Amino acid sequence: MIRVVTFDAGNTLIGLKVPAGFTYAGVGSRFGLEMDPQRLESAFRRAWQEIPAPVDQDCPRPDDGRGWWRQLVARLLSRAGYAIPDPEGYFEAVYREFGQPGAWQLRPGTKVLLEELYRTGIRLGIVSNFDRRLYRILDELGIRGYFEQVVISSEVGADKPSLKIFREALSRFQVPADEMLHVGDDEATDGAGARAAGIQAVIVDDSEHSFEQVFARIHSVGSVLPDVAKAMSGLSKRRI
């Protein structure tokens, strides 16, 4: 029976308002640089795949994960073929920009999904490869209050799909693994990572009604909460 549902954050509950390349180009303009957003976007995607995740450690990352992001920005600029006169200043500006709530928006259906799950009494959490910037983003987007626990990689010292971050979530909620469901957008990090810890997983996509899979899984597995079936039946009316 599902008692706890945890979510990935980026590209699951929230998403950037504009592609990352446009933000990198916009910051560049403040430094007097003309940068091609599409070129930067392509370089960003390649760099994201190339930079390995930080190694697990037994304590929070002392720099809140900034070192990894610094490597990523340096790699994408190199891939895009841009030489920045003030690379550290550019990095700091970009880092701040992506921490602004205005850079993010709720994915369609997020608020309805969280409202319905919260109303039924299912406990909610976040398990995300993010840093402490996420708290402000969640607050400003009006969804922080739904979550009993927010488990982020920079504070745990491990990124998904590491077992460590999922075990941290289980420890905080104090439930058996088979009573937790994790929802994310990436099979390798969210799906395989959760299942390796014994946690069920649902992978969502960008389709309009993808969050309905969450209620469908809870309903099929069972829940101690009778309101779950009622909530599921009303989703189509609220266009989750």
Q: Which residue has the higher pLDDT, 216 or 2?
A: 2
CA count, 13 A, side-chain hemisphere, 218: 32
pLDDT in tens, 183-217: 999 999 999 999 999 999 999 998 767 888 898 88
| Residue 50 tokens, joined | 């190339």
Q: Among 2.120.10.30, 1.10.150.720, 1.10.645.10, 2.40.160.20, name the CATH number for the domain at 18-102.
A: 1.10.150.720
Beta strands per DSSP E along the chain:
4-7, 14-16, 104-106, 123-128, 149-152, 180-184, 200-203
- Where do the structural domains in the chain lie, given as residue ranges? 4-14+104-238, 18-102
Q: Among 3.30.930.10, 3.20.20.100, 3.40.50.1000, 1.10.390.10, name the CATH number for the domain at 4-14+104-238.
A: 3.40.50.1000
Lowest average pLDDT, out of 32-41, 73-82, 214-223, goes to 214-223
Distance CA(91)–CA(109), nearest Å, equals 33
Nearest to 183 by CA among 207, 163, 198, 201: 201
Distance CA(7)–CA(130), nearest Å, equals 12
**201-to-27, 51, 61, 217, 227 alpha-carbon distances in Å:** 37, 26, 27, 9, 21
Report yes or no: 110 and 10 within 8 Å, Cβ to Cβ.
no
Compute the average pLDDT of residues 157-161. 97
> Is pLDDT of 235 > 60?
no
pLDDT in tens, 86-127: 999 999 999 999 998 799 999 999 999 999 999 999 999 999
- Residues 63, 64, 66, CA angle at the centre, nearest 5°? 70
Give residue 210's pLDDT: 83
Main-chain phi, psi angles of 167, to 5 degrees: -65, -30
What does pLDDT average to over the chain? 91
Enter the pTM of the model: 0.90
Give residue 228's pLDDT: 45
Give residue 151's pLDDT: 98
Give residue 222's pLDDT: 58
